[in-house]
Structures are given as C-alpha cells and as structure tokens.
C-alpha cells in the first residue's frame, strides 16, 4: 500500500475513534470528501471496534501460560469426565486448589449434586501426608453446622482418594472480594456467621489451619460456607521456612502456595506448632480484607508478603474504610496481633465482640478500648517495597531478578543515621556509628546481633567514626574527628577505657588479621593525593602503602583480606569515578578489580576471594555487589532495602546499611505560646511520603499528596489530621501539587497518568476526576485565582516552562510570562501574579507581573526552591535554604521590603525539606513537608 | 539434563537472533522449562497490579535466560525493546512447536486447539498474530513496534512511550489502530 494512503486511512481512523459513534458518519462524510474507497477502508476497520476491546487485552505470556495450564489440566480431566465413581457421576470440573481438583458430580442414589475433591498426586504418594489427610477428612465429616460445608464421605477409587462434599451454589468470598470491599453491615453479618462456623469446629477439636477467602463460599442467599477444615497441606517444615533456603525459594516461587501463605499466621510461617489462635489470625486477615477491600499484608512477591505478616503492622482500617469504627478497628487489630498471647484467645470472644458491635452496644470490647493512631513503622520489616510508581526507574534491574538466597533480619530498628557497620570476628556483635536516639552526636555503639545487648562506647561531643574490631574481638579501634584533626583511639567493646593511639589522616580503618597493623588514609600535604598508610600498633611507626598518581584524588577505604595476604582499596580518579584495587602484601603492585559504577567502600568475603561493595550508579541503581578479585563481572547481592550501602562480612554473615527516606507534613505555629518553635512531631505521618500540603480557604481542612495507598495520590483530611479521604486513584501516573479552589469545593492537581503531566480537578468531597488540560506538553502545579475563575499553572508547551492561565473548567489558555516561570500565585485582589522564576533561566527567587500583562519585576532575590513559598496579603512566606545550621521558615514583608527568618524548620540539621509551604488564611499557622532520613543495619545470614 | 550457564544461553540467543536455527533447537528445552515455570506462577498467583506484573515477569524471564551484562545495553529503553522482541520470538516459537505437535496426532492437544476460531480467542493464536504483525511491520514499523512492546513485552502505555520516545497519547492511538488492522487481517486469513 502507498504510504500516503496508509497515513490518511490511519489518521481518519484514529480521529473517528475519538468522536462519538453517532457523529462519526457525518465526520467521515465530510473528511473523505467524496473518496468512496477511502471511506470504505476506514469503515471496514472501524467495524472491528467492539471486537477490538477484548483483543490482546491479556499479554502474550499469559496466553502461553493459560495454554500450558490447560494442557496440564486436560490430561487429568480427560480421564474423569463422564465417568462414574461408585454412585457418583462426574459432570464437570469446577475448580482446582492447592490440594487437588474439584468436580461437580451427581449422587445418583440420592439425586442431588455433590462436589468431589480428588487428592493431588503428590499428596497421594506421600504416605504421611496422605494418612493425615484422610484422618482429618474423617473428623471434619463429623462437623454439622449450617455455615460449614458438609463432608459426606471419604472414598477411594483407582488408587486416588477423594472427598465427597456438599455442593454449594454460589461464589467464593475470594471472587466476591475481587469486586471490592463488602459494605460494613453485610461484612459484619458474614463475619459473625463465619465465626460461628469456626467456633463450632474448634468446639469439636478441629482447627481449620487454612482460613482464606478461597475456602469460604457465599451461597446465593448470602450466607458463608466454610470449607476444607483441617485439610491444609503442611507446607512449612518445623523450624520455619527461613532455615531452609531451598524451601523458602520453592514455596514462594510456586504460585499455588503463595495464595495460602498470604493468610498464614506468624507461627505457622515459622513452622511452629499451631493452636486455634492461628485460625483467629487468618480470620482477622479475611475480615480486614472484607472491610477494606485490600489484603493487609500482601506485597508484590511471596517473600515480601511473608515478611509483612511476620513484622509489619497493616494500615489502620479507619484509613481505608471511613465507616469502620474505632472499636471494629481495635477488634481486627487484636485478631492480627503477631504474638498469639496478644490475640483473642478464642473465636468465641471474637464473635462476642462482633455481635455486640452489630447490636450497637456502647460497652467497650472485652479489653480496654484503645484509640488507634496511624503508626508509621520505619524500616522495621526486612522486606519493604516502595510503590513502583515512585521508584519506577529502579526497574532497570528488577528487584525480583534473583530471589534472596538468605534470611534477612533487621538488627537495629531505631531512628537516626547509622554508618560503618563492622561485624566482630565471631559474628555475634556489630559495631557502628550512630547519632543516637536524640540524633545529636555521632558516637560508636556495639549491638548484639541475636540479642538485646546495646552498648554505647563513646560520649565525646566530637564525631567518632569508623569502628573496627581487633582480631581477638577484645578491642575496638575508631577515629575521633575534631576540626581537621583525626585521632585513632582504642576502646573496649564493653565500654570504658578509651586511649589515644596516634594522629591519622581521615578515618576508614582496617585492622590487619595478625593484630599488629592498622591501615588508614592520609596524605603528605593538602596538595598530595590521599593514600593508604599502615601504622604499627607496637612501635607506632607509619609507612605509606600505596602511591597513587598525583592526578588522582587518592586512595581510600582500605580493607585487609581475612587471610592477611591482600589489601583492597578504592582509588578515586575524579570526584565521581572510582575503582576497586587489590594489592598483595607487603608491597605488591595494585591490580584493578572493577570500576563498575564507581565503587568506594568494600569488604572481603570470608574466603578472601571476593569483595562486596555498593553502588549509586548512573541509572540511580542502588545495590550491593560481589566481585571476584581475580577479575570478572560483578554479581548483584540481593539485599532488601531502599538505599543499601556499607557492607561488612564476617564468615557467613553480611551486614549492611539500609537508609529510608521519609517525608512528613509539619505544622508551625506563628502565634501563641508555641509560636515559632520548630515542631518536634509531624502533623501527618501516614506513609513514606506525605508532602505538598495546602490549607483550605476556611482553614479547616488540608489537602496533600501521600503514598499511603501505595502510589502517590491526593488526600484531604481535617486540619488536625483526622478523617482522611482519598480523592484520586492515578496509580502509576501519580498525583501531586494539589491546591484548593477559593470556595473550598474543588481540588486541582497534576498527574502523569496520560503520559505527559496534565492538570486535573476533583471535588473536595470525592468524586470523578476531570482532566482539564489535554495536550502533549507538560502542565504542572495548578493554583486557582482569587475569584475562582482561572487556574494558573506551569507549562512547557511553548518550548520552555512559562506560567499560563486557563478558565477554571479547562479551555483555551493564555501565556502569562515570557522569560521563564513554573509556579504562580495570584494576589488576593487579582491585580498581580507572583511567580517563581524557573531556575534554568537563572531566575531564582520570586517575581511578579501584572495579571493583565506588563513588565516582570523581581520581588524577592533569595535562593528559594520552586515549591517552597506562599503568598499572603502582607508578604511572602518562604523557606530559606541558605540559612545555617538548618533551613528556616522566613517572611518577606511587602511593607518594609525586608526579609527575616521566623523559625528553623527542624531541630535536626539532618532534616531534608520536601515540596510545599502553605499558610493558613488567618495567618496563625503554616504547613510544610520534609523528614529526616533514617538508616538501619540489616543482616543477611547464610551469606556464601 | 545439561544445565546451561547464562553465558551459553546468551550466545545461543544471539546466534538465533542472527538467524542460526540450530541454536534454537538447543535453546528450546531451556526456554520451554522457563515458560512452564512462568506459566505456573502466572496462572496460579494473585495479580494485584496486573500490567506491572507482566513486564516484570517478562523481564525476569529474560534476565534469567541471558547474562544481562554480556550484551551492550544502550539504555533502559533499548533493554525493554530487545526483551520484548526476544519474548515475542520465544512465545511464537513455543506456539508454533505446539501446533506442529498437533500433526503428530496427540488427541489431547487437538481437542484443545480446535476452539480457536471464535473471535474472542483470535488473540490467542500467537502464530497467526505474529504473521499479521510482521505484515504490519512492513507498512508501519512504529505501529508494529507498539504492539510488540505492549503485547509481547507486557509494557504499559507509559513504558512503551518511554521506549519509543513519544507521548502516551500517541501510543494509545497507534495501539487502537493496530488492533483494528490486525483483527481485519486475521479475519481475512
């Protein structure tokens, strides 16, 4: 076909698709202007439109997978359908579960429908599993309750065992939940009925062990029928999944078991013996899911889900479902307690509390009613995954590329910044640098890896860093940095008795395996490059070990190999590029090992054959790697965490630092007793990122962006942080930079959902989201005009970012600035537009231009970030990042034309600011966002 | 069963991409095994974030099969484009091999494959789809690429836009038109 014609047909087709069907014919009539064959071509294509909706909806791999799965199933079913087994005539296959297939059959003697479940072949072969299965089925057959799926009999045919069960016409709770959550009243009733069923079984000494939505049918009348009591496959060997690498990997890889794992209690996952409280936990998950519509612990991979069940607190129900009362939230929370002792002791008690709640009783539940606060668990669980939408670029090397072959246990979980972990030679303690609970001073600490022991070793106000253990683990060396001077000290791991040894250059110590030498970094003069030196601990003589070329920055991060034969170090070429080298002792020539992604700190594996290091690569990739010193390509070390670094190895333990990035919303009082005091606690701390707050025009509510649902979305809540309401669901498209309409009814925001950032609007009470800008350029940071008739925003549609303005319901925009601008706020009287000069034009600071057009003038010449300012009648509030020691909230007064600082943003200089500054309409308080990075020591056992 | 190292697999894959059919014969058992594993996971596990899972799965399969560092990746877009292409070839080969087994007369497979003529299942005949897609590539290479990336690579609209360096809207328009054209082509054949 001639390419021109192709283009024409295609364009017509695409345009026609965007027009309503009724108007299409008229459109084509006009557009084809008489060319009948052209029109016919287009219409033939359009005829497939309905069919096209379902076409290629599922990706090819799913199709291939479905075929394979069907093949496998066909082989079995083919044998059975149509046949009779005793007096049961098999009609069709109705499902398959972890234990075997289920068929619909007719009981020809009683003329009723039954379900026949055949035991899966692998269970059949295993004599232990098989015997237990039959035993359980027999005792379950004794259960007789309206909400329990009855077992009629257990039989055997052709070497295959089967169970004959009551056939339930309806759908599973799992299918029902796929449509979303269940309304409170209904969910409560179903839950009470499920509780009755479980209570009846427990009363007969039968623990279900596999309570999950797939095992609960809902009859057409809406009543539950619990199935498969006590029949659950014993998947977890004693000792738990974590002790056996292969089991762990297989269990979470094998899709059929993942579904079951997601509902297991912590003790089940650990392979411990279970009692009926395990059913309480699993039931709690089901109840949570019924009320919230989401699973409390499920993550993207099985391994992460397990980690969440064992360690993470689920999001409070009240945040996901506003009609869940504090009492109900408490009941579910108690069912989901990790320790069985903290849970309800029996289903009877659960049912009792649920029933009273249903009856509207005012009395508190069996224990004291606790008011739940949204808790934020910073890096507690070993397996936390940030929403892929935010960290999208990390998927260059997908996190699930290689399942971790080792167990990961967080060794420390308190706030503050931790660095330089160092494992003792017997692997039982880890020394590290930490700025403590109050985050005021960096000191050396040691912590017992598998126990509660934590000792603080230094108390000096100077910075203490780089702890290193002596070969006999009796001493710890570290450096104390005071001004430009660094001194080497030795102290005892038990605390006390520190003594000075010598002056060294900069820290980064390594103790030789024979205990006699300490490697450190120093330089002859400020003009010389850094190099590795060795200090004899006996004679205090020092000797230069490496001699980098003068053009280099220098050599740093020395590390002796465990066998004492080599020294590894990083050689830095220029600021960002470095490589790892190894030299044989005492003075061999350094050999390049790798320069992959500029490694710096490295440590040796126990066999002295490989180095482990971390990278912050070109693509933003943050990971741990291992490389053979003989050369070769580095391999990734699977290590969970957001920002992993600073690995240390001892035998088969690997410890490293994981840094998490948290952003919260903070409130500063501008008047009253607490005026200008930087807040000690955030106002909103729901998730990893809560930012860009804006106070409503009546000062009663706030809108902001939060990742609490897993992706960055817009939320509103009351000014005290209560009554949250999620307004958007842009998912991978993200939603940000919300702002209020002057009447407080609408929220405008930007989102990347269409592929290029656009402005959207949504009602502040919730509702459908309207897209206001539709063009291929990027539109960001919308702000309403004072009279609500216009929306200002930044757009690059002219080729560079400028301020534009459009009618507030979308429509033709007008360009406002010429020389660069991104965020704009109109003055209250509508006369002036203040805006932030987009920094790529060297326009830091706030400018203004008359709303009707005119010259652009500089108002505030300060280094201000794009989203760190707000406008009031009296002046401009802004965050001054040039202030020391920490950024301040400052104010520029229009009357005096002077700017002054009001308060520091936080008492911790480590506080990182995020976007957003919003002043209340009465001028009495303001909001901003930011957070302190927290870091934790992570541990991998079984590292080989 | 011989275990192939990732380096060997990479070399085989590269040889196959260059046109050496014999390389494919040696690769097929491996790819088959990999597909079985993926198929099992895919079919049986819950899928909370549907599209996200797919491309992750495809990339995972791809990375497992090859030694990612041996090949020179220009950038992420390049990587995705290549993996979608390889996954297409692999899946189509897989579908083709099952079809030919049919000729061997395995009654089970015959029974299943017969349901392919209904319109709803037209998308499940990967071989025919591949042929149609190749025909499309002759006329409109970019449009065919969109289909390859989305359908075989499992990429989202946004990811596809990134790879091809166009807007999400362009991707959707190409996708919509491609579907219509492919359906027309398949019906004809």
Q: Would the pLDDT of B9 be above 80?
A: no
CA distances from A688 to A245, A598, A664, A715 (A): 31, 29, 8, 14
Of A49, A54, A75, the CB nearest to B108: A75
Residue range A649-675: average pLDDT? Answer: 84
pLDDT tens digit string along A864-919?
878 889 999 999 999 987 777 788 999 999 999 888 899 999 887 667 788 889 99
Q: Would the pLDDT of A363 be above 80?
A: no
pLDDT tens digit string along A765-793?
989 999 999 888 888 899 999 999 999 99
Q: What are phi and psi of B74, to 5 degrees?
A: -70, -40
Cβ separation of A258 and B48 shorter than 8 Å? no
Cβ separation of A69 and B158 shorter than 8 Å? no
Q: How far apart are CA A556 and CA A601, in angstroms?
A: 8
Residues of B in contact with A55 (CB under 8 A): 122-123, 179, 182-183
The whole-number pLDDT of residue A440 equals 66
Cα angle, residue B146 at apex, residues B140 and B152 outer, rounded to 5°? 125
- Confidence band, pLDDT 50/70/90 cuts, at residue A264: confident
Find the Cα–Cα–Cα–Cα dihedral A67, A69, A70, A72, rounded to 10°: 120
Query: Any CB–CB contact under 8 A between B83 and chain A?
Result: no
Q: Would the pLDDT of A469 be above 60?
A: yes
- Confidence band, pLDDT 50/70/90 cuts, at residue A462: confident
Tell me which residue has tokens 């009554």: A723
Residues of B in contact with A400 (CB under 8 A): 56, 60
pLDDT tens digit string along A385-421?
232 222 332 333 333 333 333 444 555 656 677 888 9
Query: Any CB–CB contact under 8 A between B68 and chain A?
Result: yes
Of B56, B69, B123, the CB nearest to A56: B123
Shortest CA gap A119–chain B (Å): 18
The answer to whether A691 and A678 are in contact (CB under 8 A) is no
The whole-number pLDDT of residue B53 equals 42
Residue range A339-346: average pLDDT? Answer: 88
pLDDT tens digit string along A525-578?
777 888 999 999 888 888 999 998 887 878 888 999 999 999 999 988 765 577
Cβ separation of B38 and A61 shorter than 8 Å? yes
Cβ separation of A255 and B42 shorter than 8 Å? yes
The first and second tokens of residue A103, run together, are 């068929």
Cβ separation of A393 and B76 shorter than 8 Å? yes
Which listed residue (A210, A443, A555, A750) is catalytic? Answer: A210
Contact pairs from chain A to chain B, CB under 8 Å:
189
For A203-226, letters b (16+ CB in 10 Å) and e give eeebbbbbbbbbbbbbeeeebbbb
For A769-790, letters b (16+ CB in 10 Å) and e give beebbeeebbbbbbbbbeeeeb
The whole-number pLDDT of residue B136 equals 93
Residues of B in contact with A52 (CB under 8 A): 176, 179-180, 183
Query: Any CB–CB contact under 8 A between A4 and chain B?
Result: no
The answer to whether A904 and A887 are in contact (CB under 8 A) is yes
The first and second tokens of residue A469, run together, are 């253990």
**Residue in chain B lying closest to A778 (CA):** B167
The whole-number pLDDT of residue A877 equals 95
pLDDT above 90: percentage of residues in chain A: 26
Query: Any CB–CB contact under 8 A between B63 and chain A?
Result: yes
User: How large is the ipTM?
Assistant: 0.73
**Residue in chain A lying closest to B68 (CA):** A397
Q: Would the pLDDT of B98 be above 50?
A: yes
Residue range A281-309: average pLDDT? Answer: 85
Q: How far apart are CA B155 and CA A353, in angstroms?
A: 47
Query: Any CB–CB contact under 8 A between B168 and chain A?
Result: yes
The whole-number pLDDT of residue B74 equals 53
Q: Specify the pairing of strand A517-522 against strand A531-536.
A: antiparallel
Shortest CA gap B106–chain A (Å): 11
Query: Any CB–CB contact under 8 A between B57 and chain A?
Result: yes
Of A13, A397, A755, the CB nearest to B177: A13
The whole-number pLDDT of residue B84 equals 79
Shortest CA gap A759–chain B (Å): 15
Q: Specify the pairing of strand A429-434 against strand A443-448.
A: antiparallel
Q: How far apart are CA A624 and CA A637, in angstroms?
A: 5
Distance of CA A889 to the CA centre of its chain: 30
**Residue in chain A lying closest to B7 (CA):** A633
Residue range B38-60: average pLDDT? Answer: 44
Query: Any CB–CB contact under 8 A between A828 and chain B?
Result: no
| Cβ within 8 Å of B, A 390-429 | 393, 395-398, 400-401
Cβ separation of A45 and B180 shorter than 8 Å? yes
- Confidence band, pLDDT 50/70/90 cuts, at residue A160: confident
Q: Specify the pairing of strand A758-763 against strand A899-904.
A: unpaired
Residues 6+ apart with CB under 8 A from A162: A85, A116, A117, A118, A119, A154, A155, A156
Q: How far apart are CA A225 and CA A509, in angstroms?
A: 65
Distance of CA A545 to the CA centre of its chain: 44
The answer to whether A546 and A531 are in contact (CB under 8 A) is yes
Among candidate residues A57, A96, A52, the one with its CA nearest the CA of residue A73: A96
The whole-number pLDDT of residue B175 equals 93
Q: How far apart are CA B6 and CA A133, in angstroms?
A: 42
Shortest CA gap B61–chain A (Å): 9
Q: How far apart are CA A868 and CA A883, in angstroms?
A: 14
Residues of A in contact with B126 (CB under 8 A): 60, 63-64
Ramachandran class of A33: left when φ > 0, alpha when ψ lies in -120 to 50, beta otherwise = left
The whole-number pLDDT of residue A732 equals 66
Higher pLDDT, A669 or A384: A669
Q: How far apart are CA A558 and CA A293, in angstroms?
A: 53
Residues of B in contact with A66 (CB under 8 A): 39, 43, 124
Contacts of range A750-753, beta carbons closer than 8 Å, 24 or more positions apart: A750/A779, A750/A780, A750/A781, A750/A782, A750/A793, A752/B158
pLDDT above 90: percentage of residues in chain B: 16
Query: pTM (2 decimals)?
Result: 0.39
Of A48, A68, A400, the CB nearest to B183: A48
Of B54, B126, B176, the CB nearest to A14: B176
Of B45, B46, B176, the CB nearest to A17: B176
CA distances from A85 to A72, A90, A157, A164, A943 (A): 22, 8, 7, 11, 53
pLDDT above 70: percentage of residues in chain A: 82
pLDDT tens digit string along A64-87?
766 655 555 554 555 666 678 888
| Cβ within 8 Å of A, B 4-43 | 35-43
Q: Would the pLDDT of B43 be above 60?
A: no
Residue range A801-813: average pLDDT? Answer: 90
Cβ separation of B123 and A300 shorter than 8 Å? no
Higher pLDDT, A740 or A151: A740
Residues of B in contact with A632 (CB under 8 A): none
Q: How far apart are CA A212 and CA A374, in angstroms?
A: 26
3 state DSSP class of A758:
strand
Residues of B in contact with A57 (CB under 8 A): 123
Cβ separation of B94 and A400 shorter than 8 Å? no
Q: Would the pLDDT of A292 be above 60?
A: yes
Q: How far apart are CA A660 and CA A418, in angstroms?
A: 11
Shortest CA gap A231–chain B (Å): 20
Among candidate residues A424, A436, A649, the one with its CA nearest the CA of residue A444: A436
Q: How far apart are CA A914 and CA A931, in angstroms?
A: 8
Cβ separation of A60 and B169 shorter than 8 Å? no
Query: Any CB–CB contact under 8 A between A84 and chain B?
Result: no
The whole-number pLDDT of residue A885 equals 74
The answer to whether A185 and A134 are in contact (CB under 8 A) is no
A210 catalytically annotated: yes
Residues 6+ apart with CB under 8 A from A758: A750, A751, A771, A772, A773, A774, A775, A778, A779
Among candidate residues A742, A739, A734, A740, the one with its CA nearest the CA of residue A758: A734
Query: Any CB–CB contact under 8 A between A829 and chain B?
Result: no
Residue range B164-189: average pLDDT? Answer: 88
Among candidate residues A418, A383, A393, the one with its CA nearest the CA of residue A639: A383
Q: What is the per-residue DSSP string for A650-718?
A: ETTEEEEEEEE--BEEEEEESSSTTTTPPPSS-SB--SSBEEEEEE-TTSSEEEEEE-TTSS-EEEEEE
Q: Would the pLDDT of A95 be above 70?
A: yes
Shortest CA gap A180–chain B (Å): 12
Q: How far apart are CA B23 and CA B25, in angstroms?
A: 5
Q: Would the pLDDT of B189 be above 60?
A: no
Of B61, B95, B183, the CB nearest to A55: B183
Of A10, A54, A57, the CB nearest to B177: A10
The rounded mean pLDDT for chain A is: 80
Residues of B in contact with A58 (CB under 8 A): 123
């Amino acid at each position: 076909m001639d390419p021109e014609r192709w283009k024409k047909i295609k364009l017509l087709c695409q345009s026609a698709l965007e027009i309503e069907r009724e108007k299409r014919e008229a459109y084509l009539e006009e557009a084809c202007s008489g060319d009948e064959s052209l029109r016919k071509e287009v219409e033939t294509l359009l005829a497939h439109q309905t069919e096209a909706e379902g076409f290629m909806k599922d990706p090819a791999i799913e199709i291939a997978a479905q075929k394979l799965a069907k093949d496998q199933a066909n082989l079995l079913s083919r044998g059975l359908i149509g046949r009779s087994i005793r007096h049961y005539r098999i009609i069709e296959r109705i499902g398959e579960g972890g234990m075997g297939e289920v068929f619909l059959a007719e009981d020809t003697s009683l003329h009723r429908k039954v379900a026949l479940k055949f035991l899966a072949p692998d269970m059949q072969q295993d004599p232990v599993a098989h015997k237990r299965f039959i035993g359980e089925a027999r005792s379950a057959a004794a259960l007789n309750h309206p909400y329990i799926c009855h077992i009629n009999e257990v039989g055997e045919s052709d070497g295959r065992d089967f169970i004959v069960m009551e056939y339930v016409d309806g759908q599973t709770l799992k299918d029902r939940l796929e449509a979303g959550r269940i309304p409170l009243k209904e969910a409560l009733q179903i839950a009470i009925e499920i509780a009755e069923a479980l209570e009846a079984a427990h009363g007969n000494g039968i623990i279900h062990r596999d309570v999950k939505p797939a095992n609960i049918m809902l009859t057409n009348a809406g009543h539950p029928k619990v199935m498969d009591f006590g029949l659950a496959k014993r998947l977890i060997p004693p000792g738990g999944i974590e002790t056996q690498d292969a089991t762990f990997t297989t269990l979470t890889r094998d899709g059929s078991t993942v579904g079951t794992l997601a509902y297991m209690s912590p003790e089940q996952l650990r392979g411990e013996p279970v009692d009926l409280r395990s059913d309480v936990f699993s039931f709690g998950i089901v109840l949570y899911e019924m009320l919230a519509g989401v699973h409390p612990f499920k993550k993207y991979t099985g391994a992460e889900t397990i980690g969440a069940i064992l360690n993470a607190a689920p999001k409070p129900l009240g945040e996901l479902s506003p009609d869940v009362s504090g009492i109900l939230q408490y009941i579910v929370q108690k069912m989901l307690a990790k320790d069985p002792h903290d849970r309800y002791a029996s289903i009877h008690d659960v049912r009792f509390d649920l029933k009273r709640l249903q009856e509207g009783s005012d009395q508190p539940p069996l224990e004291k009613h606790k008011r739940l606060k949204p808790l934020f668990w910073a890096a507690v669980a070993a397996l936390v995954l940030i929403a892929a939408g935010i960290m999208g670029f990390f998927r260059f090397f997908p996190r699930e590329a290689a399942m971790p072959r080792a167990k990961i246990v967080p060794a420390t979980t308190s706030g503050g910044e931790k660095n330089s972990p160092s494992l003792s030679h017997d692997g039982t303690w880890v020394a590290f640098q930490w700025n403590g609970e109050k985050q005021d001073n960096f000191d050396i600490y040691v912590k017992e890896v598998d126990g509660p022991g934590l000792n603080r070793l230094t108390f000096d106000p100077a910075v203490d860093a780089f702890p290193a253990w002596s070969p006999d683990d009796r001493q710890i060396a570290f450096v104390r940095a005071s001004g430009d001077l660094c001194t080497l000290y030795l102290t005892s791991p038990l605390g006390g008795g520190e003594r000075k040894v010598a002056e060294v250059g900069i820290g980064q110590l390594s103790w030789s395996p024979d205990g006699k030498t300490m490697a450190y970094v120093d330089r002859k003069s400020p003009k010389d490059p850094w190099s590795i030196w060795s200090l004899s601990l006996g004679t205090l003589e020092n000797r230069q070990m490496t001699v980098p070329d003068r053009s280099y920055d220098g050599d740093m991060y020395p590390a002796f190999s465990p066998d004492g034969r080599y020294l590894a170090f990083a050689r830095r070429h220029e600021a960002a590029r470095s490589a790892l080298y190894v030299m044989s002792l005492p003075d061999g020539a350094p050999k390049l090992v790798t320069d992959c992604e500029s490694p710096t700190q490295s440590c040796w594996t126990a066999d002295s054959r490989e180095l482990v290091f971390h990278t912050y690569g070109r693509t933003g990739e943050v990971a741990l790697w291992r490389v053979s010193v003989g050369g070769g390509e580095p391999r990734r070390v699977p290590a969970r965490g957001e920002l992993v670094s600073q690995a240390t190895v001892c035998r088969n333990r690997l410890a490293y630092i994981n840094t998490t990035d948290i952003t919260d919303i903070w409130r500063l009082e501008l008047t009253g007793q607490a005026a200008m005091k930087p807040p000690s606690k955030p106002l909103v701390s729901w998730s990893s990122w809560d930012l860009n707050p804006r106070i409503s025009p009546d000062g009663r509510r706030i809108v902001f962006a939060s990742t609490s649902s897993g992706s960055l979305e817009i939320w509103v809540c009351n000014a005290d942080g209560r009554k949250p309401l999620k307004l958007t669901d842009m998912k991978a498209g993200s939603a940000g930079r919300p702002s209020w309409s002057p009447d407080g009814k609408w929220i405008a925001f930007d989102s990347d959902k269409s592929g290029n950032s656009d402005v959207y609007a949504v009602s502040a009470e919730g509702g459908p989201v309207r897209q206001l800008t539709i063009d291929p350029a990027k539109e960001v940071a919308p702000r309403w005009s004072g009279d609500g008739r216009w929306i200002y925003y930044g757009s690059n549609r002219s080729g560079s970012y400028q301020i534009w303005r459009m009618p507030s319901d979308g429509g033709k925009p007008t360009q406002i600035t010429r020389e660069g601008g991104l965020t704009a706020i109109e003055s209250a009287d509508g006369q002036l537009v203040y805006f932030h000069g987009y920094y790529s034009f060297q326009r830091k600071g706030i400018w203004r231009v008359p709303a009707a057009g005119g010259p652009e003038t500089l108002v505030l010449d300060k280094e201000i970030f794009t989203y760190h300012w707000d406008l009031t009648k009296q002046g401009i509030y802004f965050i001054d990042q040039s202030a020391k020691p920490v950024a301040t909230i400052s104010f520029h007064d229009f009357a005096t034309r002077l700017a002054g600082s009001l308060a520091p943003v936080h008492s911790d200089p480590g506080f990182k600011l995020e976007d957003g500054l919003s002043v209340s309409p009465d001028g009495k308080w303001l909001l901003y966002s930011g957070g302190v990075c927290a870091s934790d020591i992570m541990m991998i056992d079984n590292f080989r | 069963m011989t275990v192939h190292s990732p380096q060997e697999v990479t070399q085989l894959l590269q040889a196959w991409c260059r046109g050496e059919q014999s390389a494919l014969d040696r690769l097929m058992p491996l790819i088959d095994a990999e597909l079985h594993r993926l198929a099992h996971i895919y079919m049986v596990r819950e899928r909370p974030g549907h599209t996200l899972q797919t491309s992750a799965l495809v990339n995972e399969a791809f990375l497992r099969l090859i030694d990612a560092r041996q090949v020179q990746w220009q950038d992420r877009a390049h990587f995705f484009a290549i993996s979608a292409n390889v996954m297409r070839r692999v899946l189509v080969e897989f579908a083709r091999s099952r079809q030919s087994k049919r000729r061997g007369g395995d009654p089970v497979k015959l029974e299943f494959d017969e349901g392919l003529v209904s319109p709803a299942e037209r998308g499940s005949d990967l071989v025919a789809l591949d042929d149609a897609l190749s025909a499309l590539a002759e006329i409109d290479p970019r449009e065919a690429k969109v289909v390859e990336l989305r359908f075989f690579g499992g990429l989202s609209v946004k990811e596809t836009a990134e790879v091809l360096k166009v807007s999400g809207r362009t991707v959707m328009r190409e996708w919509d038109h491609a579907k219509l054209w492919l359906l027309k082509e398949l019906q004809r054949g």
